[in-house]
């Protein structure tokens, strides 16, 4: 993998997977403005390097929830067997090979226990959609027993969004690809099927966050936060961290880009909880900007899917190690020896692209 970006890999992935699977992975909501701006807003930020620092050694390690970790994680995405025959098994192996945290989705197409068996020394988290509390309790107990390290509650999908790109190339439901961790193992349907549009799915209140914190034996993280006041409520309810996210621009178009939301949320949370961010991360320089602005780590979604589709577990590993290498090089060029040395003064904004 070269240092150009992931455009070439995306083209290879398009050729490697069914057109409907590619459209499902790539799709953003409506006009895909937010999906595109996520990446553009990271690129609109400029770095202010410390040229006299001359670090002799670059250390990209950090801690996440108190454990040593790479500041690059695999974002939760469902239905990996739509992209590769091994599905989440391959993703888990690739993440483990890169020492990266893998956030496994509720809508995984491989059992949680089988995914856990691929973990090696890397941590795994579980992403939860909360509707039926009895179903949620069963999932929470399973992931705790399987050694997962945290529960990530997705809070930004009270209804399904509209994704015309996915609707134009609809998935054909296959009885061989199922959401195997849910009761009845339902067939993995396209969440952007027009029949779902506007239906109430996973509404989350602050009371739900507080209930989950009480019920879960694992730390709770809330994903889908774009406002400081929402972040503060999550932390007050007991969440150990929040993920600044607009769901990859997949549900609410013209929502604020995550690069623009990050600063307000870091300020609102302060030292009470950790903050992570996803959405449009495509380069090591994006990662350093996010860390400098106060994120503890970033999550990467679509590029991991492209790597999975093209080369399976090796492709996932290569995407993550490529980003880690870019991060290390960017740190060296900016005079940043350790993640802790990445401070807000490294970043300047030049305005809208």
Cβ atoms within 10 A of the Cβ of 111, count? 16
- Tell me the sheet residues that pair with 74: 102, 300
Q: How far apart are CA 248 and CA 178, in angstroms?
A: 23
Q: How far apart are CA 88 and CA 42, in angstroms?
A: 28
- Tell me the sheet residues that pair with 67: 64
- Answer left, alpha or beta for residue 75, where phi above 0 means left and psi between -120 and 50 means alpha: beta
The CA angle 325-101-74, to the nearest 5 degrees, is 75
Q: How far apart are CA 29 and CA 251, in angstroms?
A: 5
- Tell me the sheet residues that pair with 241: 221, 274
Q: How far apart are CA 239 and CA 236, in angstroms?
A: 7
Contact 250, 161 (CB under 8 A): yes
- The H or E element spanning position 321 is helix 302-333
Q: Which of 139, 74, 88 is nearest to 117 (CA)?
A: 88
Q: How far apart are CA 144 and CA 267, in angstroms?
A: 31
Contact 234, 206 (CB under 8 A): yes
Q: Catalytic pick from 247, 251, 311, 322?
A: 247
Is 311 known to be catalytic? Answer: no
Integer angstrom CA distances of residue 134 from 131, 141, 183, 209: 9, 11, 11, 15
Q: How far apart are CA 21 and CA 172, in angstroms?
A: 9
Integer angstrom CA distances of residue 131 from 1, 17, 190, 316: 41, 31, 18, 31
Residues identified as active-site: 247
């Amino acid at each position: 993998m070269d240092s150009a970006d992931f455009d070439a890999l995306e083209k290879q992935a398009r050729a490697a997977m069914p057109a409907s699977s590619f459209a499902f992975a790539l799709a953003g909501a409506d006009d895909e403005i937010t999906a595109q701006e996520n990446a553009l807003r990271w690129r609109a930020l400029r770095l202010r390097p410390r040229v006299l620092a001359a670090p002799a050694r670059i250390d990209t390690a950090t801690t996440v929830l108190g454990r040593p970790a790479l500041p690059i994680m695999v974002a939760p995405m469902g239905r990996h067997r739509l992209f590769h025959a091994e599905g989440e098994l391959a993703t888990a192996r690739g993440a483990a090979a890169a020492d990266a945290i893998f956030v496994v989705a509720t809508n995984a197409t491989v059992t949680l226990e089988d995914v856990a068996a691929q973990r090696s020394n890397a941590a795994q988290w579980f992403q939860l959609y909360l509707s039926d509390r009895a179903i949620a309790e069963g999932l929470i107990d399973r992931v705790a027993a399987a050694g997962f390290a945290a529960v990530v509650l997705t809070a930004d999908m009270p209804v399904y969004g509209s994704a015309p790109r996915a609707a134009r190339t609809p998935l054909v439901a296959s009885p061989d690809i199922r959401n195997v961790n849910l009761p009845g193992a339902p067939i993995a349907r396209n969440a952007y099927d027009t029949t779902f549009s506007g239906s109430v799915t996973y509404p989350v209140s602050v009371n739900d966050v507080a209930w989950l914190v009480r019920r879960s034996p694992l730390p709770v993280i809330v994903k889908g936060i774009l406002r400081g006041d929402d972040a503060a409520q999550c932390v007050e309810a007991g969440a150990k961290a929040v993920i600044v996210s607009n769901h990859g621009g997949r549900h609410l178009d013209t929502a604020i880009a995550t690069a623009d939301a990050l600063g307000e949320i870091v300020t609102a949370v302060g030292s009470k909880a950790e903050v992570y961010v996803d959405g449009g991360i495509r380069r090591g320089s994006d990662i350093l900007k996010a860390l400098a602005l106060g994120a503890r780590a970033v999550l990467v979604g679509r590029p991991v899917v492209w790597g999975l589709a093209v080369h399976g577990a090796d492709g996932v590993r290569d995407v993550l190690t490529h980003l880690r290498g870019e991060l290390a090089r960017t740190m060296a060029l900016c005079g940043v020896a350790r993640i802790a040395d990445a401070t807000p003064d490294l970043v300047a904004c030049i305005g809208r692209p």
